[in-house]
Amino acid sequence: MKILVGIPAYNEETTIGNVIQNVPRQIDKIGRVDILVVDDGSKDKTAQIARTKGAKVLSHFLNRGLGGALKTIFAYADKHNYDMLITLDADNQHDPKDIKRFINCALKNKSDIIIGSRWIKENNAPKARWIVNRFANIITFLLVGIYTSDSQSGFRLFNQEAIKNIQIKTDGMEVSSEIFREIYKNKLKYKEIPIKAVYTKYSETKGQRLANAPDVLIHLLMRLVR
């Protein structure tokens, strides 16, 4: 089996090297682990650092957004026939060592998708993040028909069937909810597992915020009701 670890990154020179460095390269039952960083129009040294750490880098000339970066990652995984794709954030919020748990869970439960949830267990997340995620979970349920404890998680595993069937149309942060629409539409089997998220002053400046919630909701309504 061969696995692709896909990391969307925008101006992440502070953390991208550490994230790549902590991705396990040898995993039981896995023949190859490759790392792909999609540099989404960064203006810093994200791409250069990622290359020096051994990752393959594909760069967008302009910043397209999280959805745009994930489109590129999925297209690459499909084109190169990876057995599994694992996505995680570039801001050091996730522990790449959890990748082994994702793989074991997918193989044991024969799930198409594994979602890493920050909310199954108690954590030190800022309350604003909890509010935004809870709101997004409700909207996702109303528009898509799937209730999840962490609709905005960036730490996910997709098997080959999921890679081939998920068709991302959005470019922005609303892509996280769109993925659940694809799960529902394609009748894919998914499972949540608890993950520990590390919140720092740096990571708190990334991802979903209360300030951009209205914009994300508008895009969700425009895209997901079609």
Tens digits of residue pLDDT in 42-97: 999 999 999 999 999 999 999 999 999 999 999 999 999 999 999 999 999 999 99
Whole-number Å distance between alpha carbons of 66 and 173? 6
Residue 69: predicted pLDDT: 98
**Angle of helix 175-185 relative to helix 213-224, nearest 10 degrees?**
30
Residue 136: predicted pLDDT: 85
Residue 206: predicted pLDDT: 58
Q: Are 193 and 102 in contact (CB under 8 A)?
A: yes
Q: How many H-runs (helices) and E-runs (strands) does the chain carry?
A: 8, 7
Q: What is the DSSP letter of 226?
A: -
Residue 221: predicted pLDDT: 58
Whole-number Å distance between alpha carbons of 221 and 140? 10
Residues of the chain with pLDDT under 50: none
Residue 5: predicted pLDDT: 98
Q: Are 180 and 151 in contact (CB under 8 A)?
A: yes
Residue 173: predicted pLDDT: 87
Give the number of other Cβ atoms within 10 Å of residue 81's Cβ. 11
Beta-bridge partners for 192: 115
Both tokens of residue 165? 């069937």
Pairing of strands 84-87, 2-9: parallel
In the three-class reduction of DSSP (H, G, I as helix; E, B as strand; rest coil), residue 170 is classed as coil
Q: Are 82 and 2 in contact (CB under 8 A)?
A: yes
Residue 222: predicted pLDDT: 59
Domains recognised in the chain with CATH numbers: 2-224 (3.90.550.10)
* pLDDT tens sequence across 177-187: 899 999 999 99
Residue 120: predicted pLDDT: 85
Residue 205: predicted pLDDT: 58
The H-or-E segment that residue 4 falls in is strand 2-9
Residue 114: predicted pLDDT: 98
Q: In angstroms, how far is the first alpha carbon of the chain from the final one?
A: 37
Whole-number Å distance between alpha carbons of 222 and 226? 7
DSSP H helices in 53-98: 66-79
**Environment class of residue 158 by beta-carbon count within 10 Å: exposed (0-12), middle (13-18) or buried (19+)?**
buried
Tell me the whole-structure pTM to 2 decimals: 0.88
